[in-house]
Amino acid sequence: MAKEPRPAEELTIWDDARAMINKARAEGIETVHERLQKQTPHCKFCELGTSCRICTMGPCKITPKAPRGVCGADADVVVARNFGRFVAGGSAGHSDHGRDLIEVLEAIIEGETKDYKITDEEKLRRISAEVGIETEGRDIKDIARDAVECFFGDFGSRKKQVSFLSRVPQKRKDIWDKLGMTPRGIDREIAEMMHRTHMGCDNDAPNTLIHAARTSLSDGWGGSMIGTELSDVIFGTPTPSMSTANLGVIKEDKVNILVHGHNPVVSEMILAASRDPEIVAEAEAAGAAGINIAGLCCTGNELLMRKGIPMAGNHLMTELAILTGAVEAVVVDYQCIMPSLVQISSCYHTRFIDTAAKARFTGATHFDIHPHNAYEQATEIVRLAVKAYAERDASRVDIPCEPVEIMTGFSNEAVISALGGSLDPLVQAIAAGDIRGAVGIVGCNNPKFQQDSMNVGLARELIKKDILVLVTGCVTTAAGKAGLLVPDAIEMAGPGLKKVCGALGIPPVLHYGSCVDNARILQLCAALADALDVDISDLPVGASSPEWYSEKAAAIGLYAVASGIYTHLGHPPNILGSETVTNIAVSGLEDLVGASFVIEPDPVKAAELFDERIKAKRKGLGLSE
């Protein structure tokens, strides 16, 4: 018997999303919510992490009646192996993203592209000096060539540690060295994780989890940090600016192109091509008022941070944006792109265009974009969207809201500049108790939860308690739509945070970028720890991913904990089938690395947990609660 669909009001907190969910149902178009309903109830063994498909003596499921698999692995081993591979997948995604940026920088210095350039030379000099490259009196291309070699080397097996560990406080590095957790090479740790979890290798759950942490650290302090820093070098370091968000950024009178994925290499070229006067004239000749670019997910965040391009939505808005009927093209690179977008695009005039060999979609129009042909290919894509405009059915267009304003562009450089050139004012505000602590809320949407209820609910509760919030990824759009990313949001904050943010003219919730840009938060924590001469685990800080779903989010959470940052998740990873693994995650890691995971689905209770943690850390620093 078919299940009754859940009301849209239960699925999301947003009016624009509810309107599009109801429109989809009226038109007979299936979305993520209907597919989830068809997939539930989920397999309990998979949810617990106790199913194993690593070899063909199985597959096995660990049960009270059959507590060991065919090979003899128990629940602890099976769960640890599954989680380790999950983390390796997430680390690979972020880190391969970083590698793509190195390849673009190499193409620039080798003269293989005219479409990209080094935009922030000062930052390239600074980060190169940080990783031991001589910069004094040298040509910028020579410095860049050494940086390329250095960062490519971080993916290999010849180093004792990845380069950006130069930023890590010595107290933290000592902990990693003692535990055998220091990340040596990005690809090395991922490959070793896969080797360890092959049948007959690492059959000690705590040992497997230590390497999972090492693998995640190669992402946070390696691949993600490289991706963030080189994106700034090539496309510019973000500075504060105003923009807009929600489905209202889609314009009824314009050719609308949505960029989706994670890497700015493609979306920057789409933006540039959309501003070509000749192509704009073609759009106007087709009857449009111009060409409008808007973002989805982290590719949107990249353009939002640097160019102020508006955000149409986060993960669970990607299908719904197409349902407005006013989108001519969705241009994707990789990661977090639902295959269903191809089918939903085919229900309208929308062209679904993929651009990466590593992320092809059956039914999509494919363009191979590389540094040497990026702009040329981008112009073809934008022209394809212009042609699609003539096929739009005006009777099916429904843009359900007006956009809301948001403030964006808070890189570490921008924050330090706003503070007068150093972190001292921030340290003083923390010491005085005006800012009691800080929490990074990061990550995803998950259709198992009412969309953004936890993301927004936690942010609101934290700022009431004078806790500064930094947001990245899909939480960005949620916070923006909730009115938390504008200076006026200080009216929702506690008195201390209101005073500090009011004086600086900034929101109490700061947009810190895309998911790879969680590396900015790591760097900020390290700088604060150095300023106070303490370990990161001594700081009154935390991390949260309330509505997470992906392998990348698991890697982020684990590298945060391994870096000494107390980390909240709105629901557990698939580890509850092992008491050993669960206990290590929620308590044992505290003894090893000074931080642990906490699972709490209620945002109010989660905020209270952060409040207690921050009180304890402030007390440890000799500060008032």
**Structure confidence by residue, pLDDT tens digits, 416-449:** 999 999 999 999 999 999 999 999 999 999 999 9
Q: Does residue 414 share a domain with residue 371?
A: no
Q: What is the mean pLDDT of residues 102-114?
A: 98
Task: Characterize 272-306 residue by residue with b for buried, 16 or more Cβ atoms within 10 angstroms of its Cβ, and e for exposed.
Answer: bbbebeebbebbeeeebeebbbbbbbbbbbbbbbb
Q: How confident is the model at residue 131 (pLDDT cuts 50, 70, 90)?
A: very high
399 φ, ψ to 5°? -100, 110
Query: Does one domain contain both 176 and 52?
Result: no
DSSP of 510-536, one letter per residue?
A: EEEESSTTHHHHHHHHHHHHHHHTS-G
Give the pLDDT of residue 349: 99
Which tokens in the block code for residue 584? 């290590």
Same domain (yes/no): 202, 247? no
Q: How confident is the model at residue 3, as a pLDDT?
A: 80
Q: Is residue 68 part of a domain?
A: no
Per-residue confidence (pLDDT) for residue 161, from 0 to 100: 98
Give the chain's domain count.
4
**Burial letters 19-36, b for 16+ CB under 10 A, else e:** bbbebbeeeebebbbbee
Query: Residue 437 — φ and ψ, nearest 5°?
Result: 175, -175
Domain membership flag for residue 404: no
Q: Which two tokens stand for residue 618?
A: 């402030």
Residue range 321-340: mean pLDDT, rounded = 99
In this structure, are 358 and 333 located in the same domain? yes
pLDDT (average), residues 336-360:
98
CATH of the domain at 94: 1.20.1270.30
Where among 235, 266, 294 does a domain terminate?
235
Asked whether the predicted pLDDT for residue 250 surpasses 70, the reply is yes
What's the pLDDT at 36? 98
Supply the DSSP string of 186-246, one letter for each residue: HHHHHHHHHHHTSTTS---HHHHHHHHHHHHHHIIIIIHHHHHHHHHHHH-----EEEEES
**What pLDDT score does 611 carry?**
99
pLDDT at 53: 97
Chain center to CA of 494: 27
Q: How far apart are CA 550 and CA 447, in angstroms?
A: 12
Task: Fill in the amino acid letter for 120.
Answer: D
Instruction: Report residue 625's pLDDT band, with 50, 70 and 90 as the boundaries.
Output: confident
Classify residue 423 by its DSSP letter: S
- Side chain identity, residue 190: I
Whether the CB-CB separation of 268 and 246 falls below 8 Å is answered with no
Same domain, 417 and 350: no
**Position 268 in a domain:** yes
* Domain of residue 302, CATH code: 3.40.50.2030
For residue 418, what are the domain limits?
Answer: 409-620
Report how far apart the first and last C-alpha atoms of the chain are (Å, whole number).
Answer: 56
* Cβ atoms of residues 625 and 619 within 8 Å: yes
**How does residue 1 score in pLDDT terms, banded at 50, 70 and 90?**
low
d(CA 320, CA 190): 35
Answer whether 229's CB lies under 8 Å from 264's CB. no
- For residues 216 and 272, membership in a common domain is answered with no
pLDDT in tens, 288-317: 999 999 999 999 999 999 999 999 999 999
Query: For the segment 352-381, what is each residue's pLDDT rounded down to a tens digit?
Result: 999 999 999 999 999 999 999 999 999 999
Cα 301 to Cα 420, 474, 518, distances in angstroms:
26, 8, 12
Residue 477 domain-assigned? yes
Copy the structure tokens of residue 69. 């698999």
**Is residue 293 included in any domain, yes or no?**
yes
| Average pLDDT of the segment spanning 30-37 | 98
- Alpha-carbon dihedral sign for residues 287, 292, 293, 294: negative
Which residue's structure tokens are 């580890």?
575
Residues 545 and 489 in one domain: yes
Whether residues 511 and 552 share a domain: the answer is yes
pLDDT score of 487? 98
* 108 and 231 share one domain: yes
Residue 401: inside a domain, yes or no? no
Q: Quickly state the pLDDT bin for 322 (edges 50, 70, 90).
A: very high
- Identify whether residues 146 and 182 lie together within a single domain: yes
Phi, psi angles (nearest 5°) of residue 274: -70, -15
- Together in a domain, 269 and 299: yes
* C-alpha to C-alpha distance for 155 and 614, rounded to whole angstroms: 36
Residue 4 lies in a domain: no
Q: Tell me the mean pLDDT in the region 521-549.
A: 98
- Is residue 40 located within the same domain as residue 98? no
Mean pLDDT of the chain: 98
**Residue spans of beta strands (DSSP E) within 304-442:** 311-313, 329-332, 351-354, 365-366, 404-408, 437-441
Query: Which residues are CB-neighbours of 154 under 8 A, at least 6 positions away?
Result: 162, 163, 185, 186, 222, 223, 226
d(CA 514, CA 475): 10
Runs of H (alpha helix) within 131-204 = 140-153, 170-179, 186-196
Q: How far is CA 432 from CA 419, 494, 499, 500, in A?
A: 16, 14, 12, 11
- Measured between alpha carbons, how far is 412 from 418 in angstroms, rounded to an integer? 10
> Are β-strands 404-408 and 241-245 bridged in parallel, bridged antiparallel, or unpaired?
antiparallel
pLDDT tens digit string along 2-15?
788 999 999 999 99
Residue 149 sits at φ, ψ, to 5 deg, of: -65, -40
512-521 pLDDT, tens per residue? 999 999 999 9
Residue 305 confidence (pLDDT): 98
87 within domain boundaries: yes
Decide if pLDDT at 594 tops 90: yes
